[in-house]
Amino acid sequence: MTHVMACIDNSQSSLAVCDYAAWASQQLNAPLTLLHVLDKEKYPASADLSGNIGLGSREHLLEELATLDAQRAKLALEQGQHMLEKARERTVISGAIAPDMKQRHGHLVESLSDLQDDIRLLVIGRVGEDSKHNAHSLGSQIEAVVRTIHRPILITTSQFKKTEKVMLAFDGSPTANKTVQMLAASPLCEGLTIHIVMVGADSQDNQSELENARSALASSGLMVQAEIRPGEVETVLHAYQAEHAIDLLVMGAYGHSRIRQFLVGSTTTTMLRTATIPVLLLR
C-alpha cells in the first residue's frame, strides 16, 4: 500500500487527474503509477462470432469480423499506451519522479480491486470518457469504485487548482474521528489550512467533539479552523466552501450519520454531482 495510482482515459478529467496525482505523490512522498484499463466489453481480447450471424453465413465473413475486432483492440491498446506516455510527461513536468505505467485489459473496478494492495491513494476523474459532459454529470463507475476499493479515493474535477484550503466534513462519529486521525497522521495536508465544519446544533457536546478534532489536527502541526453551523448538510457545506474558497472537500466514507448518508445510494451521486471541487473520501 505505497503507490498513488491515477486512472487515465481519454476524458476531459484526465489532465486534472495527472496534476492532482502528481501533487499527491509529492505531498505523500510516494511513487506514482498511471493506470489505463481497456474495457474488455468494448474491446474483447478474442471474439467468438460463430453464433452472431446465423445460418448460411460464410466462414470467411466470420474470419473478417474477427480480424476487424482484433485490429480495433490493437489500435485501442496503442492509443492507451500513447495516453499513458503523455500522462507521464505531464506528471513529470508537474514534479512527479519516475512515474510508472500500467495497462490492463478488463473492467476498471476489477482491475483496481486486483491492484488494491499497492494503492495508498487512488486518483480518479469524476467524469470518464463514456460519460455525458455537463455540469452535474458523474462517471458511471464512480459509485462502484467507491464501494469496492477500500482505500482513500481522490475524485477530481476536470480542472486542476492548487490546493491551499481543505474542508473536513465532521460529525463527531467514530468514522469522522478516524478520518481526523488519518489526516493528522498523513503528510497529504502539510502546509495547508484545514477547516473543520460540523453541521448541527451549537451544543456543548458538539463543541467538545469539534474541539477534540481541532486539537488532534493542530497537535500534528496543521493550521486548523473549526466551526459549527446549523442547517442541511449539503447546503451548509457548499455555502461554506464558496465563502472560504475551499479547494478540497474531505469526508469519511460510509456509515449512518447525517453526513455520511450522502455516501450511500442515490445521495452519493447527489453529493458528488453538486461538488464543484475535488472530494477526498477516507475510510
Question: Do the Cβ atoms of 36 and 10 come closer than 8 Å?
Answer: no
| Reduced DSSP (H G I as helix, E B as strand, rest coil) percent helix, strand, coil of the chain, to 5 | 45, 20, 35
The amino acid occupying position 32 is L
| Rg value, the chain, Cα | 22
Helix (H, G, I), strand (E, B) or coil at 51: coil
Mean pLDDT within 268-276: 69
Q: Which of 179, 175, 158 is nearest to 278 (CA)?
A: 158
Per residue in 39-62, pLDDT (tens digit) is 765 655 554 444 554 545 566 666
Q: Is the pLDDT of residue 255 over 90?
A: no
More confident residue, 139 or 113: 113
For all residues of the chain together, what is the average pLDDT? 83
Give me the helices (H) in 11-121, please. Answer: 14-28, 59-93, 108-115
Q: Is the pLDDT of residue 265 over 50?
A: no
Question: Do the Cβ atoms of 228 and 264 come closer than 8 Å?
Answer: no
Question: Do the Cβ atoms of 232 and 181 come closer than 8 Å?
Answer: no
Distance CA 103, CA 8 (A): 10
Query: Residue 267: its pLDDT value, please?
Result: 43
165-282 belongs to which CATH class?
A: alpha beta
Distance CA 97, CA 31 (A): 7
Q: For 61, what's the count of Cα atoms within 13 Å in the CB-facing half-sphere?
A: 10
Fold of 3-42+76-156: Rossmann fold (3.40.50)
Q: Which of 47, 157, 48, 41 is nearest to 110 (CA)?
A: 41
Q: How many residues in total does the chain contain?
A: 283
Distance CA 85, CA 96 (A): 14
Query: Residue 266: its pLDDT value, please?
Result: 44
In the block, which residue shows the cell 450471424? 53
More confident residue, 74 or 115: 115
The model's pTM is 0.84
Q: Which three cell numbers stand for residue 250?
A: 474531505
Per residue in 175-234, pLDDT (tens digit) is 889 999 999 999 999 999 999 999 999 999 999 999 999 999 999 999 999 999 999 888
Same fold, 3-42+76-156 and 165-282: yes
Query: Residue 174: its pLDDT value, please?
Result: 86
Distance CA 46, CA 61 (A): 16
**pLDDT class of 94 with cuts at 50, 70, 90:** very high
Q: What residue ranges do the domains of the chain occupy?
A: 3-42+76-156, 165-282
